[in-house]
């Protein structure tokens, strides 16, 4: 049972993070919602979550800042009394064709790795001691880009490969009290892919299930590994409709 537990979801105001928050809230999980820029979206998500009868608070923090992350974790524990679930969903990218080596600028590398790799690790590290107290769960939203080497840019793919590696390392380090699992979506219909309809249609046609994912597809898997997969840790579960087989 996960009812009455507390989950912190980074990048939780929109897209996949919001869908995860709503799915867990339906199971009566209290939600700590992190955002960095999308305050209006986070406030709207907060109201929708609260309408499901659970507590929801929002926290502004840049996950690429270790200080801000530690402060956020302290505030969540102060406000909710404990932390049981951490979903590292916050992420960023820059769209650069893989063949455009010069276009993959140094600042893009730094920005992508600061959020997708350092930010993920900072959140796990800051939350580790609290999650050990509650025999908690960490779910890292990775990507099939980290397996295939494809994706929005070379740096993004590399950052998600690093996230998968960190998931495995932390699954060993934090065991047996804390499980750490990766969930790797393929392309998902969110703001990230707006304006790429031709690309989406082509990918959907090449997928055995003949569609691409919606955020709720990913959220359902995240809920499943948290609530019903107590003997799973260190794995990276692909959610791509068969595109990667």
Q: What is the pLDDT of residue 211?
A: 83
Q: Which pTM does this prediction carry?
A: 0.95
Over residues 111-129, the pLDDT tens digits come to 999 999 999 999 999 999 9
Percent with pLDDT over 70 in the chain: 94
Fold of the domain built from segment(s) 6-238:
Rossmann fold (3.40.50)
Output phi, psi for 98, to 5 deg.
Answer: -60, -25
| Contact predicate 74/130, CB 8 Å | no
Between CA 238 and CA 245 the distance in angstroms is: 10
**Domain limits, the chain:** 6-238
**Residue 22 tokens, joined:** 């709503």
* Residue 9 and residue 31 in contact, taking contact as beta carbons nearer than 8 Å: yes
- Tell me the catalytic residues: 156
Query: Residue 27 corresponds to which tokens in the numbers above?
Result: 């199971």
Q: Provide the edge-to-edge strand list for the sheet that holds 137-141.
A: 56-60, 30-35, 6-9, 85-88, 137-141, 179-185, 236-239
Encode pLDDT of 186-235 as tens digits: 888 776 666 666 656 666 667 888 888 899 999 999 999 999 999 999 99
pLDDT band, very low/low/confident/very high, at 243 (cuts 50, 70, 90): confident
CA triple 151-20-36, angle to 5 deg: 70
Mean pLDDT score across all residues of the chain: 94
d(CA 165, CA 236): 9
Contacts 24+ apart (CB under 8 A), 190-194: 190/14, 190/15, 190/16, 190/215, 191/14, 191/15, 192/15, 192/93, 192/152
pLDDT at 77 over 70: yes
pLDDT in tens, 31-55: 999 999 989 999 999 999 999 999 9
pLDDT of residue 213: 85
């Amino acid at each position: 049972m996960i009812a009455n537990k507390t989950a912190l979801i980074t990048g939780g105001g929109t897209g996949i993070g919001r869908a995860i928050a709503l799915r867990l809230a339906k199971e009566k999980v209290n939600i700590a919602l992190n955002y960095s820029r999308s305050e209006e979206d986070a406030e709207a998500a907060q109201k929708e979550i609260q309408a499901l009868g659970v507590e929801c608070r929002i926290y502004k923090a840049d996950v690429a800042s270790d200080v801000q992350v530690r402060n956020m974790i302290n505030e969540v524990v102060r406000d909710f009394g404990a932390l049981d679930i951490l979903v590292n969903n916050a992420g960023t990218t820059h769209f650069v064709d893989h063949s455009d080596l010069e276009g993959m600028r140094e600042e893009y590398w730094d920005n992508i790795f600061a959020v997708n790799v350092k930010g993920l690790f900072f959140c796990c590290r800051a939350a580790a001691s609290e999650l050990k107290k509650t025999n908690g769960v960490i779910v890292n939203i990775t990507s099939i880009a980290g397996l295939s080497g494809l994706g929005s840019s070379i740096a993004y793919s590399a950052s998600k490969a690093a996230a998968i590696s960190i998931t495995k390392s932390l699954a060993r380090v934090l065991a047996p009290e804390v499980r750490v699992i990766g969930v790797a979506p393929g392309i998902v219909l969110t703001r990230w892919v707006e304006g790429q309809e031709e690309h989406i249609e082509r990918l959907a046609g090449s997928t055995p299930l003949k569609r691409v994912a919606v955020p709720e597809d990913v959220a359902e898997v995240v809920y499943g590994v948290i609530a019903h997969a107590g003997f799973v840790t260190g794995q990276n579960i692909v959610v791509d409709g068969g595109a990667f087989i």
